[in-house]
Structure 1
Amino acid sequence: MEHPHQEIREIRALHTASTITVYQAYDPAIGNPAVRHGRFPSTWRQNRMTWIKPSFLWMMYRSGWGTSEGQETVLAVEITRAGFDWALRHACLSSYVRSLYP
């Protein structure tokens, strides 16, 4: 039974008052320089479509435990809560849900 004040949807993630940690899988050509230098290399494109996950294990599963081509490097990325909220506002479902879009 749901608690009367429990949110229907919730995100469970490592967070502070101002940041949230998400996980992304990258090709080693992107991930390795990012780890070495603490920032993404110039070959990384900010406008590319991506999936971020608030759970490390979920990202590991979705990336084939780091064996899927182009997803061999899984990074923990700390972003601002404002940035995460922006991403949620601009996100879309990855599959069609008839009940949401009649």
Structure 2
Amino acid sequence: MKLKLKKYKEQLSSWPEKGYHIMAQYDDERIIVYQSYRKEIGEFAVKNQYFGGSFSLTRMTWIKPNFLWMMFRNGWGKKEGQESVLAIHLKLTAFRKYLENSVRERSI
């Protein structure tokens, strides 16, 4: 899936004004999410087009559907262990399962 770019001011009018929404690029089969990794994990994934090397399935992780949100959360790639940001194409069915099993923070 190729990323579709649109100026912020052009897309603002089509965004929902209320409620909870996931703003992401997706098609009928995939959704693009972003994830931060240590430099060596990111370099391995880019070179080989799969996760391996020092990547671990037991590590808890956060994915974000918005690139700028990810960049803000990882300190613009400056936080230790979060220097590489990858765009990951997930199956939409898998993403929906992740949402079903997720926990949403609530304000007290």
Range class of TM-score, shorter chain: 0.7 to 0.9
8 A contact 2:44–2:53 mirrored in 1: no
Distance 2:39 2:97 in 1: 27
Partner of 1:53: 64
Normalising by structure 2, what TM-score?
0.77
Shift of 1:43: 2.5
Distance 1:7 1:20 in 2: 22
How large is the Cα RMSD of the aligned pairs?
A: 1.8
The runs of 4+ residues in structure 1 deviating greater than 2 Å are 95-98
Percent identity for Structure 1 against Structure 2: 40
Partner of 1:19: 30
Q: Secondary structure at the match of 2:88?
A: strand
Aligned residues: 92
Normalising by structure 1, what TM-score?
0.81
Partner of 1:87: 98
Unaligned runs of 5+ in 1: 1-5
